[in-house]
């Protein structure tokens, strides 16, 4: 987001999504290549992150996260798991990202969020998390 500035990139999501895609592809290609190299070298965990949350919610709508960020992250995870099916991929964001946590886990990431928000229980789970949390550690 630093390539264009957060406010302008968020505007681009609505006014010029093709430009937003082109800009996001620059760090995506870099991070994909770096992560693939690391996994081929034998690392057993890769850490990804975008701070898309603030104390009371997400500053990027879940809809825009699904459109612009999730497909890139899912593709990185898929490529890394192709190289080493046992590699762990962690994702970190500060703030409240509860609307997307289940989707992060579904695409194969472990999820960590730091916030002072109430406890959250993933759907279908009896486990809960608060503060620094991890979900999907068995993946």
Burial zone of 74 (CB within 10 Å; 0-12 exposed, 13-18 middle, 19+ buried): middle
**Contact predicate 48/31, CB 8 Å:** yes
Tell me, what's the pLDDT at 117? 46
How does pLDDT run across 95-127, given as a tens digit for each residue?
A: 888 899 899 999 998 866 554 444 555 556 554
Q: The whole model's pTM is what?
A: 0.78
Q: What are phi and psi of 33, to 5 degrees?
A: -60, -45
How does pLDDT run across 39-65, given as a tens digit for each residue?
A: 999 999 999 988 888 888 898 999 999
* Structural domain boundaries in the chain: 6-135
Tell me, what's the pLDDT at 51? 82
CATH match for 6-135 among 3.20.20.210, 3.10.20.740, 3.10.520.10, 3.30.1330.30: 3.20.20.210
């Amino acid at each position: 987001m630093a390539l264009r500035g957060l406010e302008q990139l968020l505007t681009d999501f609505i006014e010029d999504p093709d430009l937003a895609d082109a800009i996001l592809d620059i760090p995506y290609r870099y991070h994909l290549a770096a992560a693939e190299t690391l996994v081929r070298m034998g690392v057993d965990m890769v850490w990804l992150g975008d701070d898309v949350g603030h104390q009371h919610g997400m500053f990027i709508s879940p809809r825009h996260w699904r459109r612009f960020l999730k497909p890139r992250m899912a593709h990185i995870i898929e490529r890394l798991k192709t190289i080493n099916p046992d590699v762990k991929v962690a994702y970190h964001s500060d703030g409240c990202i509860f609307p997307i946590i289940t989707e992060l886990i579904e695409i194969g990431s472990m999820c960590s969020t730091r916030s002072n928000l109430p406890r959250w229980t993933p759907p279908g789970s009896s486990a809960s998390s608060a503060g620094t949390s991890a979900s999907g550690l068995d993946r």
